[in-house]
């Protein structure tokens, strides 16, 4: 166990403080949609954009790989961001999922207009 005297407190630079505050504001913006939103659900939304950049679109399987979780868990996180979540209540409306016409057992995930606006807002906060 360390005493208070053992802990060396380094001053935080203004750049680090600003980055930390921007990160906190980003998490808080997700919390405006759902105050108890799990981290995996936040990451699901963000990974969709990364996957769109890396390839043409995101799939539930791709998201599961990024999250290092099962497809069923990834699917639940995606559904939390659609219009109606798995409890049949309003979801965030940030994502839409639909069947891939070329691979019927695959769901394609895309940002909705609201999702694009949320993403832009997040990026604006992070680039202050």
Digit-coded pLDDT (tens) for 33-68: 999 999 999 999 999 999 999 998 999 999 999 999
- pLDDT band of residue 78 (cuts 50, 70, 90) is very high
Tell me the percentage of the chain whose pLDDT exceeds 70. 92
d(CA 34, CA 72): 21
pLDDT at 115 over 70: yes
69 vs 105, residue with greater confidence: 69
Q: What is the mean pLDDT of the chain?
A: 89
Give the predicted TM-score (pTM) of the model.
0.84
Q: Is the pLDDT of residue 7 over 90?
A: no
Answer CATH for 37-126 from 3.40.50.300, 3.30.70.120, 1.10.10.10, 1.20.1250.20: 1.10.10.10
Q: Where are the domains of the chain?
A: 37-126
Among 5-9, 96-100, 112-116, the range with the most confident prediction by mean pLDDT is 112-116
Q: What is the pLDDT of residue 79?
A: 92
């Amino acid at each position: 166990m360390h005493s208070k005297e053992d802990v060396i407190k380094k001053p935080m630079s203004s750049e680090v403080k600003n980055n930390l505050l921007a990160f906190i504001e980003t998490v808080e913006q997700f919390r405006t949609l759902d105050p108890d939103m799990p981290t995996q659900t936040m990451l699901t939304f963000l990974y969709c954009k990364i996957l769109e950049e890396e390839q043409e679109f995101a799939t539930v399987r791709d998201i599961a790989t990024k999250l290092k979780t099962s497809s069923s868990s990834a699917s639940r996180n995606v559904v939390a961001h659609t219009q109606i979540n798995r409890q049949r209540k309003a979801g965030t409306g940030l994502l839409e999922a639909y069947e891939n016409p070329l691979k019927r057992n695959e769901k394609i995930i895309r940002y909705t207009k609201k999702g694009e606006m949320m993403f832009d807002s997040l990026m604006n906060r992070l680039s202050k």
